[in-house]
Amino acid sequence: MTPETTPPGGATASTSERLIESTRELLWERGYVGTSPKAILRRANAGQGSMYHHFSGKPDLALAAIRRTAGEMRAEVARLLDGPGTALDRVGAYLRRERDTLKGCPVGRLTQDPDVMADPALRAPVDETFDWLRNRLAEVLAEGRERGELDAELDPAVTAASVVAVVQGGYVLARAAGSPAAFDQAVTGVLALIAGHAATGSR
């Protein structure tokens, strides 16, 4: 939600909402150090001092922004992984979901920010999100193995970790190449590897 956005119901976004959304955008674009209070206030179209009226300071506001970004990502991924189809269908839906590939993962990019990683409070939502993602993917793959969709040789936990690594690495390759093709190729590759474990009757 940008400062100009009007949420459902027609009411103008509150100052605290604009501050959080502006901080989310700036963290994604510039990182923690580059997200200055002045830049946040300018983007949020908020008056000087409003940050400290709603939050104790930049770290508190950044934490609220990171938690929201992580929460939205988890909700979207859960919707896809909890959807219909085989385990491969559901993992494929997650891997093929619409992304701003060249901009990178809004949560994953935080792992490259030394200031975020050095602060236990700011780092916690990032760690929790990736832990949740690996575990949920492993659960889906385990379900597929139990249903006979995937063969017994597939290791759900190892495969889930590989899927997450491919996605995050795919973002890096795409940004380096300036093209989403590298990401798409990585995703296609990991899906083919999982498909190679499809049980004979489900191929």
User: Do 77 and 173 fall within a single domain?
Assistant: yes
User: Do 165 and 127 fall within a single domain?
Assistant: yes
User: Do 87 and 148 fall within a single domain?
Assistant: yes
CA angle 67, 60, 11 (to 5 degrees): 70
User: Do 86 and 158 fall within a single domain?
Assistant: yes
pTM for the model stands at 0.86
Rounded to whole angstroms, the Cα distance separating 115 from 33 reads 7
User: Do 132 and 188 fall within a single domain?
Assistant: yes
Percentage of the residues of the chain whose pLDDT score is greater than 70: 92
Task: Please write the tens of the pLDDT for every residue from 34-65.
Answer: 999 999 999 999 987 888 889 988 999 999 99
User: Do 136 and 87 fall within a single domain?
Assistant: yes
Domain containing 178 — which CATH number?
A: 1.10.357.10
User: Do 39 and 70 fall within a single domain?
Assistant: no
Domain containing 18 — which CATH number?
A: 1.10.10.60
- Which of 13, 33, 55 corresponds to the end of one domain? 55
CB neighbourhood size of 161 (10 A): 16
Query: Judging by beta carbons within 10 Å of its beta carbon (0-12, 13-18, 19+), is residue 136 exposed, middle or buried?
Result: middle
**130 lies in which domain range?**
66-202
Task: Please write the tens of the pLDDT for every residue from 89-145.
Answer: 999 999 999 999 999 999 999 999 999 999 999 999 999 999 999 999 999 999 999
- Which of 55, 76, 93 corresponds to the end of one domain? 55
Contact 143, 91 (CB under 8 A): no
User: Do 83 and 160 fall within a single domain?
Assistant: yes
Per the domain annotation, does 60 fall within a domain?
no
User: Do 71 and 139 fall within a single domain?
Assistant: yes
User: Do 81 and 123 fall within a single domain?
Assistant: yes
Backbone angles phi, psi at 150, to 5 degrees: -125, 150
Q: Count of domains in the chain? A: 2
User: Do 1 and 81 fall within a single domain?
Assistant: no
User: Do 24 and 97 fall within a single domain?
Assistant: no
